[in-house]
Amino acid sequence: MEGVGGELNAFTGKEETVYYCTCLAGHVRRAVDLLLDITLCSAFPEDEMEKEVEVVVDEIESYRDQPSDLIYDEFESLMFPCHPLGRNILGDAESLRSYRPADVARFTGRLYHPERMVLYVLGNVDPGLVVREAEKSLARGDWHRRTRGLTLPHAAMDDAGCGNRHVVREMQTHQAHVVVGARAFSATDPRHIRLFLLNNMLGGPAMSCRLNLALRERAGLVYTVESSNAAYTDAGLWSVYYGCDAKDRARCRRLVARELDKLVQHPLSQRTLDAARRQLKGQIGLSYDNFENVAIGMAKRFLHYGTTLSREQLFAQLDAITPDELLQTAQSVFSPDRLLTLEYV
């Protein structure tokens, strides 16, 4: 694939693994064949596995040098202490080094079946050609001999989360790293789109977002402050991250709490809501220039929910949001009794 200027890559999320290829439309046959060969026909030589395990172990260890990344993993484990969503995607070195080729073959044999997968193609290509190439590639695979019909057990989601609402870790870093957040809504909950809008107002990519204005532009306390909203099939997580001098932690917490309290106590004016909608629509529109991310996002949505969501449909959902709905959503997530704070100092 690289020989024709394309890119072949993969990543693992909390609920799926994605193998993807970006190439010129004229090489779609090659892309389809490679992706299906990788997912359904891979071999796992022990010497290659041993090398790759050490690469991943090195990646795990590298996170210890990046507290701004490490803190998110621990925050999720605190928010989902008894659920798979709280587990680190990379795992741990001891477990990784115990795996053998038979373990990986058994895993792919149980989970990697066409009926559990989505092959998604975005581009100026003939859909019939894609189907024909996929059928040819599938006919060559050995996946027919694998165990079929596996149903993964559903992990119950407890309502309690972390009992301690403020956790401090001594990390001996120059800068303090802080995450504050709460459980939120699944991707199928209609409140998710409302939180999507609120999150963009608070800590989105624009320099004019509320948290950036409060903590950086007015107070000069942080270099980075951002908020994020992750929506899964049965749960969600909203959080704010910032890094500051240790002596400024309390002041930063107060400023964040003040911005959240504004959204919890009072509905937005129609003018403010219209401006926030206009900003988010512009950001979404520009993001559609990144065709790779668009394709991956649509494929993941189709994998989990059997549907896609067009830009126009998303805009219509944003247009339907009212100030009272945003107030109720803010009260459901940003109320002080729902928030957990994790600090690395």
Distance separating the N- and C-terminal Cα atoms of the chain: 45
- Smallest CA-to-CA distance from 146 within 108, 104, 102 is with 108
Which tens digits make up the pLDDT trace of 220-274? 999 999 999 999 999 999 999 999 999 999 999 999 999 999 999 999 999 999 9
Say how many C-beta atoms besides its own lie within 10 A of residue 231's C-beta.
19
| pLDDT, mean of residues 14-34 | 96
Contact status, residue 178 vs residue 170, Cβ threshold 8 Å: no
Please report the domains of the chain, with CATH numbers, ordered by start residue: 2-145 (3.30.830.10), 166-344 (3.30.830.10)
Which tens digits make up the pLDDT trace of 57-82? 999 999 888 999 999 999 999 999 98
Please list the residues that pair with 228 across neighbouring strands.
239
- Give the position of tokens 């090489």: 27
- Smallest CA-to-CA distance from 169 within 75, 245, 257 is with 75
Torsion of CA 204, 210, 211, 213, to 10 degrees: 110
* pLDDT score recorded for residue 8: 95
Lowest mean pLDDT among 54-58, 109-113, 116-120, 209-213: 109-113
Contact status, residue 178 vs residue 341, Cβ threshold 8 Å: yes
- pLDDT band (50, 70, 90) for residue 159: low
- pLDDT band (50, 70, 90) for residue 304: very high
- Give the position of tokens 């210890």: 64
- Smallest CA-to-CA distance from 345 within 165, 177, 221, 180 is with 177
Q: How far apart are CA 82 and CA 161, in angstroms?
A: 8
User: Which pair of tokens denotes residue 246?
Assistant: 């240790």
- Smallest CA-to-CA distance from 1 within 27, 19, 38, 40 is with 27
Residue 29 has pLDDT above 80, yes or no: yes
Residue 201 has pLDDT above 90, yes or no: yes
Contact status, residue 230 vs residue 237, Cβ threshold 8 Å: yes
Contact status, residue 86 vs residue 77, Cβ threshold 8 Å: yes
Q: How far apart are CA 278 and CA 222, in angstroms?
A: 27
pTM over 0.75: yes
